[in-house]
Amino acid sequence: MTHWLTVWRAAQLVGVSRGVLQQQVRDGSLVLTEGLVSTDQLLRLYPTTRLEDTGILERVITIRDEAFGRRLRERLLPSQEVLAQRLFSQTQELADVRRYLQRYHELVVALQERIQALQGKGASPLALAELQDFVDQGLARALATEQADLLTVMDDMLKVMSAQVTVRPSGHEFIVEGHDTLLQAGLRAGLKLNYGCGNGTCGMCKVRVISGQVVRTQPCDYPMSEAEKAQGYTLMCAHTAGSSELTLELLEASGPQDIPQQQIVTTVRAVTQLAPGTRLLHLQTPRSHRLRFLAGQSVTLGVNRPDGSDVHALYPVASCPCDDRNLHFFIERHPLDPFALQLFADGIKPGDAVTVWGPVGEFVLEDSQRPLVFAACDAGFAPIKSLIEHALALDAAPSLSLFWLSTKPDGHFLENQCRAWGEALDPFEYELLAEPDVSFGAAQLARAMRADLFDIECDFYLAGPEVFVTALQAELRASGVPTAQIHCNVLLEPVGETA
């Protein structure tokens, strides 16, 4: 029997990205029916799909290992209450199916009795015999026991271990796994959700449940009115999915203009040397006041000097919005950057307070299903890394390519990260170039792109100093790339201003 799946769930089951399946839909090798994929089609396209290849069975088995037990249960399996709720929903669905089958059986039996009654009234024996044979064969087919296909079994397992959430009116989808709340799962999936405190106080993450059930996972202080409760409103930060499928109605940010300006006093979690001239600054926000931003945006950081004066500087966020408490920044040593000078002089240490203002910037991912190409020069890798992590969370691009130019001997300070992406992700490839002359390096980078990418339509994201961005943008436009598909972020040179 054919089983119907959403594209998101189908990608999970066969172990490919959603972007790969969407590309197959565009080229006609995969046909959608009312937005759904049949398991028959999936098995034809992926005939060698095995349960263990997708990692689903591996997750279940690994949980038995006592060495990982508690941590894996927390990360991969929902709580006992949520599991019980989802199993109850599955049991209800099974009971409904059994009830419908019983009614169909009763209907067929009644039809057989009517046929026998008609035979006694002198109806045509041949016509009645044909009708009786038709009913018998239909009943046999309906009650026949046949082995369910593998993808259907796997889908039923996933419905208990995880939940699929559909967002209206956008149609976006995401999966809730482990102990994640709806808000945490949505942010991990790259959605631009509206929220504030994240702990059930402000009410900004209020949504309406259209179908399915939710389960409260943490206390919340926001006073929901009786009218809101009657209409099905709930807080995403305090609830998770109680049923295997859930539909929510909410408004998402359409772009940077929908993200409010914020001022947050963060705490330095760590300062790590990535290279002699580059340090990673890890800031952590309070639990009750997280930074809402879009991947690729920048913020202003400010600290106090020993003499009591303030220094501040604008930096792109290098981390993904999916982890809104932990903010990463790549700080380069520069004689005209007072914030960097204080950092490299060990004037900023773990436990210190750093004020964050922002976010700002239009360098964000556009809604597109084209392949993505990222190009960075030196610390321009910071916003590019944020965009890549966001794109991976969205899981919608058919492929991702990174070209990183270094003008310094130690410029590829996160080469291991690029290698890890390349080894773990089929649709990801990267190329690292080293050239002290920025303009010449940009030309080299354009030639490397042209060798592989200019025969397909892509979206290009460029970040680095003005010379790099201008030169590479000119090369792309000269090669025929439409202006609308080139997105640029020029990182300005520090000018030594202090607050």
d(CA 486, CA 476): 8
Q: Are strands 486-490 and 278-284 parallel, antiparallel or unpaired?
A: unpaired
Residues 6+ apart with CB under 8 A from 383: 295, 296, 297, 298, 316, 317, 318, 361, 363, 463, 489
Judgement on whether residues 178 and 264 belong to the same structural domain of the protein:
no
Total residue length of the chain: 499
Whether the model clears a pTM of 0.85, i.e. scores above it, the answer is no
The domain tally of the chain equals 5
pLDDT of residue 79: 72
**Is there a single domain that holds both residue 294 and residue 355?**
yes
Q: Do residues 340 and 381 share a domain?
A: no
Q: Omega before 409 cis (within 30°)? A: no
Q: What is the pLDDT of residues 127-153, one digit of tens each?
A: 777 777 777 777 676 666 555 556 666
At residue 150, the pLDDT reads 61
- Is the same domain home to 353 and 441? no
DSSP state of 253: -
User: What is the token pair recorded at 492?
Assistant: 């300005």
The fraction of the chain above a pLDDT of 70, given in percent, is 85
The verdict on residue 496 lying in a domain is: no
Are residues 75 and 88 located together in one domain of the fold?
Answer: no
Q: Do 107 and 191 share a domain, yes or no? A: no
Does residue 435 carry a pLDDT above 80? yes
Domain of 377 in residue numbering reads as: 372-490
Q: What three-state secondary structure class fits 244? A: coil
| Domain contains 498 | no
Co-location of 94 and 149 in the same domain: yes
Over residues 26-31, the mean pLDDT reads 78
Classify the C-alpha dihedral 317-371-487-469 as positive or negative: positive
Whether 365 is covered by a domain: the verdict is no
Query: Is 497 contained in some domain?
Result: no
Residue 31 has pLDDT above 60, yes or no: yes
Q: Rounded to the nearest 5°, which phi and psi values hold at 42?
A: -60, -45
pLDDT tens sequence across 155-186: 666 677 788 899 999 888 898 988 889 999 99
Residue 131 forms part of a structural domain: yes
245 and 261 inside one domain? no
What percent of the chain has a predicted confidence (pLDDT) above 90?
44
Are 91 and 139 within one domain? yes
Model pLDDT for residues 46-94, shown as the tens digit of each residue? 876 654 444 444 433 333 344 434 444 555 567 767 777 777 776 667 7
CATH number at residue 305: 2.40.30.10
Q: Do residues 380 and 472 both lie within one domain?
A: yes
Let me know: does 484 contact 399? Beta carbons within 8 Å.
no
Which segment of 27-36, 172-181, 433-442 scores lowest on mean pLDDT? 27-36
Tell me: do 232 and 342 sit in the same domain.
Answer: no
Indicate the pLDDT class of residue 2, thresholds 50, 70 and 90.
Answer: low
What's the whole-number average pLDDT of the chain? 83
Higher pLDDT, 460 or 147: 460
Instruction: State which of 339, 360, 381 marks the end of a domain.
Output: 360
The CB-side HSE value for 133 (13 A sphere, CA atoms) comes to 6
Q: Is residue 294 part of a domain?
A: yes
The residue whose two tokens read 């300062």 is 271
> What does the alpha-carbon distance between residue 324 and residue 287 come to, in Å, rounded to a whole number?
10
Same domain flag for 74 and 116: no
Instruction: Tell me which of 35-49, 193-207, 426-440 is least confident.
Output: 35-49
